[in-house]
Amino acid sequence: MRTLYRHARLATMAGELPWGWVERGALLVDGEQLAWVGADEALPAGLAADAEVELGGALVTPGLIDCHTHLVYGGDRAAEFELRLRGASYEAIARAGGGIRSTLAATRHASEDQLFASAAARARCLIAEGVTTIEIKSGYGLTEAQEAKCLGVARRIGRELPVSVRATSLAAHALPPEFEGRSDDYVDALIDWLPRQQAAGLVDAVDAFCETIGFTPAQTERIFTAATSLGLPVKLHAEQLSDQGGAALAARFGALSADHLEHLSATGVAAMAAAGTVAVLLPGAYYFLRDTQPPPVQALREAGVPMALATDHNPGTSPALSLLLMLNMACTLFRLTPEEAWRGVTVNGARALGLADRGRLAAGLRADFAVWDAEHPREMAYRFGHNPCRRSFFGGIERPRALHP
Ligand code: NIG
Ligand code: FE
């Protein structure tokens, strides 16, 4: 079945033109894929469609990609937010056994169905804004069975909702209380779980939190060695609160991405550029922790490091459920241009997940796209608290209109 979508204003995010702009464009969708993308009048005569859909000049972009989330967890951290407002720091709360560990307890207590219900509700918020691919990390279970439970919930989101899910194992997120004072033993344990997670089809990539309140560079290196020997790509929470040299370490392992990066050094930037590691910027966490040191965007830009953008949705540092809001925050807080921000949630978001089949509107790629009540995508970087997504297509199939406002 081939359907031709005509009379759209296309921001393809592909090719040389700014935004990959096509003023009067058309998309030919064949099954799950885009068979042809271009100017309306340039449609080759030989490309017959079974059906035509008139888009009436509406703006069309690729489906959005949220390449860094922690969507599966129990409870919330609203009380911790109040503590921080009274002066406690994120690190101090974590050291006192709160923070990630309090979410750990709530997640362990939650059933698979409860976790699915809460994570699916969050995923629907992202879907409403035209998101068609979501990365979901584990990291709030921290035993083999609990991590499998959370990764299984991530997989179930991908099966039951019209969205692609990439599941990342982040067992190296925090030290579980059972391993107090024995962090190297915990690293041994999580390395031992990996082949079984992989054999169960639960994991697409491996991540770690390399930080003074997380895992050391030496421990991260052990985890990365194990992951890469299994053929699993790696990513890293790097340089969020301090410079641990994590980004350069990740680059040495050919990491898909290094994420956060507020404290990234010039050495880290150069290593990422040489390795082609994507910088995933997370303005929601920067904002919510009231950080004052933004990531070195100008240095990343000059070095040609691709920049992606994500919600980092999690209960502790970024309870954000709007990727559109991140477009605005990346521009206002990090001084990205609107086009850079959009590349961050499309083409570079795909690259941060190692996915070459999406993130742009081009022949041969997945037919994941969104239709907007807007003249130009820069408007979504400009406004905030507003969702003009009206329709979206996932693998060539229109998602229920009720999912959109
Ligand atoms: O990406 N930095 C570590 N992980 C999360 C925070 C997790 C939490 O506080 O629950 C992040 O910011
Ligand atoms: Fe994160």
Q: Is residue 36 within a helix (H) or strand (E), and if so which, with residue range?
A: strand 33-39
Q: Output the CA 332–ligand 1 centroid distance in Å.
A: 22
As a whole number, mean pLDDT of residues 291-295 equals 97
Q: Are residues 254 and 280 in the same domain?
A: yes
55 Cβ below 6 A of ligand 1? no
Strand partners, 168: 137, 205
Q: Are residues 310 and 321 in the same domain?
A: yes
Instruction: Count Cα neighbours of 175 within 13 Å in the Cβ-side half-sphere.
Output: 24
Listed in order, strand segments (DSSP E) in 102-198 are 131-137, 164-172
312 Cβ below 6 A of ligand 1? yes
pLDDT (tens digit per residue) in 11-52? 999 999 999 999 999 999 999 999 999 999 998 888 889 999
pLDDT value at position 3? 97
Q: Does residue 5 surpass a pLDDT of 90?
A: yes
As a whole number, mean pLDDT of residues 255-269 equals 98
pLDDT value at position 98? 86
| pLDDT-derived band at 96, boundaries 50, 70, 90 | confident
As a whole number, mean pLDDT of residues 267-292 equals 98
For residue 308, the domain's CATH number is: 3.20.20.140
Q: Are residues 154 and 271 in the same domain?
A: yes
Strands 397-398 and 389-394: antiparallel
223, 206 contact by CB (below 8 A): yes
Q: Are residues 143 and 271 in the same domain?
A: yes
Provide Rg for the chain, Cα atoms: 21
Q: Does residue 366 surpass a pLDDT of 90?
A: yes
For residue 14, the domain's CATH number is: 2.30.40.10
Q: Are residues 78 and 215 in the same domain?
A: yes
CA distance 226 to 52: 50
Q: Does residue 65 surpass a pLDDT of 90?
A: yes
Mention every residue, 6+ apart, whose C-beta is less than 8 A from residue 175.
183, 186
As a whole number, mean pLDDT of residues 106-122 equals 98
pLDDT value at position 342? 98
Give the domain extent around 378.
2-62+360-403
Q: Is residue 108 within a helix (H) or strand (E), and if so which, with residue range?
A: helix 100-109
CA distance 158 to 135: 10
Q: Are residues 182 and 284 in the same domain?
A: yes
Q: Are residues 109 and 240 in the same domain?
A: yes
Q: Are residues 55 and 119 in the same domain?
A: no
Q: Are residues 249 and 179 in the same domain?
A: yes
Tokens standing for residue 277? 């590691």
pLDDT (tens digit per residue) in 200-242? 999 999 999 999 999 999 999 999 999 999 999 999 999 999 9
Q: Does residue 361 surpass a pLDDT of 90?
A: yes
CA distance 149 to 372: 36
161, 123 contact by CB (below 8 A): yes
Q: Output the CA 214–ligand 1 centroid distance in Å.
A: 10
CA distance 215 to 236: 11
Residue with tokens 């994507």: 278
CA distance 185 to 213: 17
**Which stretch of 84-93, 221-230, 306-315 has the lowest confidence by average pLDDT?**
84-93
Residue 318 alpha carbon, nearest atom of ligand 1: 12
As a whole number, mean pLDDT of residues 317-343 equals 98
317 Cβ below 6 A of ligand 1? yes
- Number of domains, the chain: 2
Q: Are residues 329 and 390 in the same domain?
A: no
169 Cβ below 6 A of ligand 1? no
Q: Are residues 226 and 114 in the same domain?
A: yes
pTM over 0.95: yes
Domain-ending residue, one of 332, 352, 372: 352
pLDDT value at position 218? 98
| Best probe residue, ligand 1, of 90, 212, 317 (max atoms within 8 Å of C-beta) | 317
Q: Are residues 8 and 143 in the same domain?
A: no
pLDDT (tens digit per residue) in 69-81? 999 999 999 999 9
CA distance 171 to 147: 7
Average pLDDT, rounded, for the chain:
97
Name the burial class of residue 304, with classes exposed (0-12), middle (13-18) and buried (19+) by CB atoms within 10 angstroms of its CB.
exposed
Domain-ending residue, one of 309, 332, 352: 352
pLDDT value at position 157? 98
| Best probe residue, ligand 1, of 67, 81, 314, 318 (max atoms within 8 Å of C-beta) | 314
